């Protein structure tokens, strides 16, 4: 057995050799050994560290992927603020930046041009040359500790060539185009949603609580700035980048140092010409003052440094054919038209679909199926159809009409007069099923305790429910077959569902999620009509005779109950034993008739719901906002702005003791 001193020396040399090959492969892109030879070196190091765990150090190449999943990220306060750059979009704005800079300094200025990498900005901290902490930018002042995840990026050195006392650098974590394509291919194979662009993919990958997932995503980094440094004096930005490169960092490619803003801007235009051919995404080019002392003198505004700007290139546009217009039904029932395109490559990704916003947008642009259209990425994220190439029309194009029936469920589609959106009226529409059931089970509706979003999605996924009525037909064995569902949890949920059958008609009416029919309108309709069958038969004109039931509510309720699938839902609820009648008693004591109460602050004797029910039982009304029509403001502890407004308007303010006396 080798003695400990010899083992320590062998481990030290192995680490140095592996770090050297990491640098050549991941930073210089110039490997000198095969993957097989590299793997043998790593295996030898791992074996020695397993035999001598006391010799493992945080900067060992074997420590790049953490072994445990974090419950959350710790916060990091940046001692040097990680500022964002001011965006400019024209030559005039670039020259204006230079003019202000040179006037403020009163001397000549050198500029540096760089790629603006489209990724996630991070801080890397080193103590005595060893990587100790890495964090996200966050809001610039407070970020998140993602050290374990950053260690998986092999172009980040875990130890530097010099044991400099302290160094904080800023870099941009990004996903190369090749890694992005590979990740999306994997998502497609596994039936998972794909990522919109490399930036989103990089951000999502770096914020994984399990660093092993991050390690699989193929992230990389360019380091582009020194935030803080001890033990080294540097005079220019270009000098600092050279020094960081020497230390072992993969640094931002600097094109050149410019003696004039004219030269810098020419370089920005040249970068724009080659950006599609780069192996990574850029969303612009950066122009910086090179002299670090001049930067200090220029300082920053409250938002941006005065010594740099980011030039944003115009959105890339391509012409392609619009093959079809398809409708997507959102979780709120909104129908959104989307363009199906002949695939075209824009801003680094292949685009085959694009948003058309809404029907009015299609009409205003005169977009037709079969047109050749100009497509761009809005903010380089969401593809959109900008305009039609009218000269390419040959007469075969078809005018698009919005469907009158929902393509997902067949229910009627309506459009409100003052809305651009068309909406499906189906309560059992599969496209909005999860949202409808989550609302149905919520506390102000049917109040089914324990039925949260995750369980609802699981029940839908297992094909156990296709409408809210199906909740009342669930069996214990259905729930016990779900992952992590135990006997007690199943019993509790079934008991909560059973208990909800006894709710008032007003709860059920609100739970149905009828557009414009909130809690107050549901209560008014339930109290007046007493039975859901009476509401189903009521005309909009009849409903509009009730106080507070306007045209929008009346027509929306009438339209809801005109849909066959909604009536079938009600019948299924009745068959399950769900109460469809009002439990409200006729008010004989109308002491609060024609009075409006507003509640504020924390009440000690009642919940808000209890106080509301008491007021309504005496013929009163409860409003959410204070106005001149408010009769009383019932004020609990820690009252807020409503109390101030009531005082201003001269509204009578009462406490709980006064209220208790009023209801005796």
According to the model, what pLDDT value does residue 71 have? 66
Answer yes or no: 116 catalytic. Answer: yes
The domain 596-662 having CATH identifier 3.40.50.1220: the answer here is: no
User: pTM of this prediction?
Assistant: 0.57
According to the model, what pLDDT value does residue 3 have? 63
Place of tokens 């557009």: 515
User: pLDDT tens, 139-172?
Assistant: 889 999 999 999 999 999 999 999 999 999 999 9
pLDDT at 579 over 70: yes
In this structure, what token pair is assigned to residue 105?
């300094």
According to the model, what pLDDT value does residue 20 have? 84
Each domain of the chain, given as residue ranges in start order, spans 4-63, 86-311, 317-399, 430-575, 596-662
Phi, psi (deg, nearest 5) at residue 243:
-65, -40
According to the model, what pLDDT value does residue 76 have? 92
pLDDT band for 229, please (50, 70, 90 cuts): very high
- CA dihedral sign of residues 53, 55, 59, 60: negative
pLDDT at 67 over 60: no
- Mean pLDDT over 228-253 rounds to 95
CATH number of the domain located at residue range(s) 430-575 in this protein: 1.10.150.20
Beta bridge partners of 208: none
In this structure, what token pair is assigned to residue 117?
């990498």
According to the model, what pLDDT value does residue 1 have? 44
pLDDT band for 381, please (50, 70, 90 cuts): low
According to the model, what pLDDT value does residue 295 have? 95
Query: CATH number of the domain at 317-399, out of 2.60.40.1220, 2.40.50.100, 1.20.140.10, 2.40.50.140?
Result: 2.40.50.140
Place of tokens 């210089």: 28
- Mean pLDDT over 306-314 rounds to 92
User: pLDDT tens, 406-421?
Assistant: 998 888 898 877 677 8
Mean pLDDT, the chain, whole residue set: 89
Distance of alpha carbon 265 from the chain centroid: 35
According to the model, what pLDDT value does residue 60 have? 84
CB-based burial, 107-140: b 16+ in 10 Å, e otherwise:
eebbbbbbbbbbbbbbbbbbeebebebbbbbbee
pLDDT at 61 over 90: no
- Mean pLDDT over 182-204 rounds to 84
Distance of alpha carbon 397 from the chain centroid: 37
Q: How far apart are CA 236 and CA 225, in angstroms?
A: 11
According to the model, what pLDDT value does residue 638 have? 81
H/E segment holding residue 599: strand 596-600
pLDDT band for 114, please (50, 70, 90 cuts): very high
According to the model, what pLDDT value does residue 637 have? 86
Of 134, 167, 310, 353, the closest CA to residue 244 belongs to 167
In this structure, what token pair is assigned to residue 266?
């020419």
The domain 4-63 having CATH identifier 3.30.1360.120: the answer here is: no
In this structure, what token pair is assigned to residue 420?
């651009």
pLDDT band for 248, please (50, 70, 90 cuts): very high
Considering the candidates 116, 250, 523, 621, report the single residue annotated as catalytic: 116
Beta bridge partners of 168: 125, 228
HEC per residue, 608-663: HHHHHHHHHHCCCEEECCCCCCCCEEEECECCCHHHHHHHHHCCEEECHHHHHHHC
Q: DSSP of 295-326, one letter per residue?
A: HHHH-B-SSSBTTEEEEPPPPPEEEEEEEEEE
Phi, psi (deg, nearest 5) at residue 287:
-115, 120
pLDDT band for 69, please (50, 70, 90 cuts): low
* CA separation, residue 16 to residues 9, 19, 20, 51, 542 (Å): 11, 5, 6, 19, 85
Percent over 90 (pLDDT), the chain: 57
pLDDT band for 332, please (50, 70, 90 cuts): confident
According to the model, what pLDDT value does residue 5 have? 75
CATH number of the domain located at residue range(s) 86-311 in this protein: 3.30.470.30
Q: How far apart are CA 265 and CA 145, in angstroms?
A: 37
Q: How far apart are CA 10 and CA 432, in angstroms?
A: 62
């Amino acid at each position: 057995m080798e003695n400990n001193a010899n083992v320590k020396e062998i481990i030290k040399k192995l680490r140095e050799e592996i770090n050297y090959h990491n640098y050549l492969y991941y930073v210089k892109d110039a490997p000198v050994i095969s993957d097989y030879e590299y793997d043998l070196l790593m295996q030898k190091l791992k074996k020695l560290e397993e035999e001598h765990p006391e010799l493992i150090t945080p900067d060992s190449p074997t420590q790049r992927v953490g072994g445990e999943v974090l419950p959350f990220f710790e916060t990091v306060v940046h001692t040097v603020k990680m500022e964002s750059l001011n965006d400019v979009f024209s030559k005039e704005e670039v020259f204006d930046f230079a003019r202000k800079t040179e006037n403020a300094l009163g001397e000549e200025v050198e500029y540096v041009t760089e790629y603006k990498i489209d990724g996630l900005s991070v801080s890397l901290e080193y103590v005595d040359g060893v990587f100790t902490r890495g964090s996200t930018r966050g809001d610039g002042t407070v970020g998140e500790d993602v050290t374990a995840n950053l260690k998986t990026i092999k172009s980040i050195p875990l130890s530097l060539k010099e044991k400099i006392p302290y160094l904080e650098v800023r870099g941009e974590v990004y996903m190369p185009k090749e890694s992005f394509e590979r990740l999306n291919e994997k998502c497609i194979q596994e039936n998972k949603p794909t990522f919109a662009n490399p930036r989103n993919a990089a951000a999502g990958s770096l914020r994984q609580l399990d660093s092993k997932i991050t390690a699989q995503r193929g992230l990389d980094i360019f380091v582009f700035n020194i935030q803080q440094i001890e033990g080294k004096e540097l005079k220019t930005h270009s000098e600092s980048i050279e020094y960081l490169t020497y230390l072992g960092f993969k640094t931002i490619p600097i094109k050149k140092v410019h003696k004039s803003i004219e030269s810098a801007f020419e370089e920005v235009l040249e970068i724009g010409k080659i950006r599609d051919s780069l192996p990574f995404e850029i969303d612009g080019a950066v122009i910086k003052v090179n002299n670090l002392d001049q930067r200090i003198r220029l300082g920053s505004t409250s938002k941006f440094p005065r010594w740099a700007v980011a030039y944003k290139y115009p959105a890339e546009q391509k012409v392609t054919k619009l093959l079809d217009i398809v409708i997507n039904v959102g979780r709120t029932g909104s129908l959104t038209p989307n363009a199906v395109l002949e695939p075209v490559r824009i801003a680094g990704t292949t685009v085959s679909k694009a948003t058309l916003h809404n029907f009015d947008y299609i009409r205003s642009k005169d977009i037709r199926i079969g047109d050749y259209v100009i497509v761009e990425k809005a903010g380089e994220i969401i593809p959109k159809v900008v305009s039609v190439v009218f000269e390419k029309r040959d007469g075969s194009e078809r005018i698009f009409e919005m469907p009158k029936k929902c393509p997902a469920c067949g229910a009627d589609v309506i459009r409100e007069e003052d809305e651009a959106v068309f909406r499906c009226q189906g309560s059992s529409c599969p496209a909005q099923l999860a949202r409808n059931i989550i609302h149905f089970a919520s506390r102000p509706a049917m109040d089914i305790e324990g039925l949260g979003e995750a369980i609802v999605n699981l029940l839908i996924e297992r094909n156990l429910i296709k409408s809210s009525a199906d909740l009342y037909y669930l069996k214990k064995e259905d729930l016990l077959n779900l992952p992590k569902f135990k006997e007690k949890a199943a019993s509790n949920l079934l008991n909560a569902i059973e208990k909800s059958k006894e709710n008032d008609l007003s709860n059920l009416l609100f739970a149905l999620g009828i557009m414009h029919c909130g809690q107050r309108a549901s209560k008014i309709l339930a109290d007046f009509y007493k039975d859901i069958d009476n509401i189903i038969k009521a005309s909009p004109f009849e409903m509009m005779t009730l106080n507070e039931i306007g045209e929008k509510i009346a027509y929306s309720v009438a339209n809801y109950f005109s849909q066959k699938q909604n009536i079938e839902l009600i019948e299924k609820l009745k068959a399950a034993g769900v109460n469809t009648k009002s439990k409200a008693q006729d008010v004989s004591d109308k002491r609060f008739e024609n009075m409006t109460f507003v509640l504020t602050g924390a009440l000690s004797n009642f919940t808000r719901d209890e106080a509301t029910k008491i007021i309504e039982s005496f013929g009163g009304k409860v409003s959410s906002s204070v106005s001149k029509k408010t009769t009383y403001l019932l004020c609990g502890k820690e009252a807020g702005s409503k109390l101030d407004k009531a005082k201003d308007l001269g509204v009578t303010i009462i406490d709980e003791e006064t209220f208790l006396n009023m209801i005796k």
